[in-house]
Amino acid sequence: SRDSKGQAEQELEQQADKIRKQLISQVKVKSIRSIIQRLGVAEKAICSRYKIGSLEDITEELYPRVMNALKATEEKKEAKNE
C-alpha cells in the first residue's frame, strides 16, 4: 500500500530534521576551535556570522557550512603566503 511508504518517508524526514537540529559533539567543537585558532579567526566572528551564542551552539546542519567557510579562508591564506 502507498500509505505505509509515505509514512516511512515522513518518519525518515522527521529523523533527518532532528539530526540537523542536533548540536555537534565536543570533538567537532574542538576541531573548529583548533582551526580558527590556527587561522587567527575570532570565535566571536564565527558566532556572529552564524547567529549563534557560542561554538557549542553549532548544529549538525550548520557544521558543514562552517567547515567549508573555514576551508575557504584557509585556502585564501595559503594563496597569499605563496
Q: Is residue 3 scored above 70 in pLDDT?
A: no
Question: Which residue's C-alpha cell is 575570532?
Answer: 42
What pLDDT is recorded for position 59? 97
Please answer whether residues 32 and 55 qualify as being in contact, where contact means their C-beta atoms are separated by less than 8 angstroms.
yes
pTM for this structure?
Answer: 0.81
Q: Is residue 5 scored above 80 in pLDDT?
A: no
Question: Dihedral, CA atoms, 27, 42, 46, 37, nearest 10 degrees?
Answer: -30
